[in-house]
Amino acid sequence: MDRPDDLISGQRAGEISDSVEAAVRSGALPPGHRLPPVRALAGRLAVSPTTVASAYRGLRLRGIVTAAGRRGTRVAERPPIAAAIRIPDPPGARRLWEGNPDPDLLPDLGPVLARIGGSRRLYGEASNRPELLDAAAAAFLQDGVRPDFLAVVGGALDGIERTLAAHLRPGDGVAVEDPGYAAVFDLVAALGLRAVPVGLDDYGPLPADVERALDGRVEAMIFTPRAQNPFGSAYDARRVRELGELLARHPEVLVVEDDHAGPVAGAAALSVAPGRARWAVVRSVSKSLGPDLRLAVMAGDPVTISRVEGRQRIGAGWVSHVLQRTVVDLWSDPATSRLLDRAVGEYARRRVEVVAALAAVGFPAHGRSGLNVWVPVADEVAALRRLGEAGWAVAPGQRYRILSGPGIRISIGSLQPGEAAGIAGALAGGAAAPSLTRSA
């Protein structure tokens, strides 16, 4: 049988790196696998060491491999390429791993689309609808975020990616929440940036960890002010003050806040970003109005917004005006406001029910806001197996953590009354109590 390293081939740097990427994508080169030393691979392929070194450098910049000194060049633990993500999902199990909002708490788009009609938008017209910007500006201003400069982007991650690309270079350090949103980890890696994990509690990033990250030279920080995924953290006034004092000593650091849940987060909108030289607050409508509405509005400093819009102009061009008009219509509809108020209360009830049920069986959980509850466990595999056998499919915590301890994520978007007790009972069946970690 061929060895995995035998799949690495090519005579040019691009061909070598492509062969490595293909092997990683297929799983033949698994995360953590050590690639051959530069000179050894160069000898086998009959190319110069410089060619192999260039191939490895390109792979590092794309986040597919990491260089670890004497440990050599290894496949990244989270290579940012399309690969199958397998989540235990027994047939017939309740799927509490998807992270979706409750469809019954989302507005019906049919009447909206009928109302907005079929007007056409052509090249050369304004990219963003003034009424959308006005509505977003009013909401930002009400929450203490200055809306002097706004951009419309294709969702929260699109805004975050464009903001990071506008300011950072491969190799720059980015502080990320740990546990944190898996897609943010992947995005940071794909941009060739260096993730610096920061621990959490129920009120957001831990000040001591943030201070260490700042002192260790990071160029940017990505925070979630409320509805943090997967932990459920939400800022309070004290945490905003603590983080603000730390960040004030580092005015050059870019701060990006991902307010993805917006009005259904179940916590006040607070921010540490405005007033800085480089900042952005990104608000998506995916959790409040529906995941298929790929739209977010971001506020930021003039340089950031200008660069984001400039890059957008030579790429996607603009966010669909069908989406923009749909969001404007929904935001102006009193029925939507009533539905969002109902969603806030219902999601809060579900979070409280799950956290209380787990606490009753000895599992302290976290879910101060948002659509997820984070449960520290002693053994993720065992916890997933117990829940799966009882008909509950939840997300393994490994996808969401870097240095923090093991856990599982339970999404409460589709949770029904009374189900929390069944989840807690299944998890507690023969389970060892989790040990506390720095993020618990």
- Cβ 253 vs Cβ 220: under 8 Å: yes
Between 156-167 and 182-190, two packed helices, what is the crossing angle to 10 degrees?
Answer: 30
Which of the residues in the chain have pLDDT under 50? 1, 84, 431-440
- Cβ 257 vs Cβ 280: under 8 Å: yes
Q: What is the pLDDT of residue 90?
A: 74
Query: Which region, left, alpha or beta, applies to residue 124 given φ > 0 means left and ψ of -120 to 50 means alpha?
Result: left
Distance CA 30, CA 332 (A): 50
- Cβ 192 vs Cβ 60: under 8 Å: yes
Q: What is the pLDDT of residue 66?
A: 82
Say if domain 4-75 classifies as CATH 3.30.360.10: no
Q: What is the pLDDT of residue 72?
A: 85
439: Cβ contacts below 8 Å, ≥ 6 apart:
178, 179, 199, 200, 201, 206, 231, 401, 404, 405
Please report, for the chain, the start and end positions of each structural domain, with discontinuous segments joined by +: 4-75, 94-104+336-428, 118-332
Q: What is the CATH number of domain 94-104+336-428?
A: 3.90.1150.10
Q: What is the pLDDT of residue 1?
A: 44
Q: What angle do CA 402, 408, 411 make, to 5 degrees?
A: 115
- Cβ 16 vs Cβ 62: under 8 Å: no
Look up the pTM and report it: 0.85
Q: What angle do CA 179, 181, 182 make, to 5 degrees?
A: 100
353: Cβ contacts below 8 Å, ≥ 6 apart:
415, 417, 420
pLDDT above 70 as % of the chain: 94
Q: Any idea how long the chain is?
A: 440
Phi, psi dihedrals of residue 95, rounded to the nearest 5°: -90, 95
Per DSSP, the three-state class of 319 is: coil
Beta strand extents in 271-339 (DSSP E only): 279-284, 296-300
Half-sphere exposure of 433 (CA within 13 A, CB side): 8
Phi, psi dihedrals of residue 150, rounded to the nearest 5°: -130, 150
Distance CA 118, CA 120 (A): 6
Q: Which CATH architecture group holds 118-332?
A: 3-Layer(aba) Sandwich (3.40)
Could you tell me the two tokens for 13?
A: 């740097």
Identify which of 319, 415, 346, 322 has the alpha carbon closest to the alpha carbon of residue 109.
322
Bridge partners (DSSP) of residue 373 are 410
Q: What angle do CA 419, 421, 422 make, to 5 degrees?
A: 65
* Residue 131 burial (C-beta neighbours within 10 Å; 0-12, 13-18, 19+): middle
**Helices (H), strands (E): how many in the chain?**
15, 16
User: For 221-259, what is each residue's pLDDT tens digit?
Assistant: 999 999 999 999 999 999 999 999 999 999 999 999 999
Q: What is the pLDDT of residue 437?
A: 44
Per DSSP, the three-state class of 3 is: coil
User: For 192-202, what is each residue's pLDDT tens digit?
Assistant: 888 999 999 99
Q: What is the pLDDT of residue 86?
A: 57
- Cβ 10 vs Cβ 70: under 8 Å: no
- Cβ 239 vs Cβ 274: under 8 Å: no
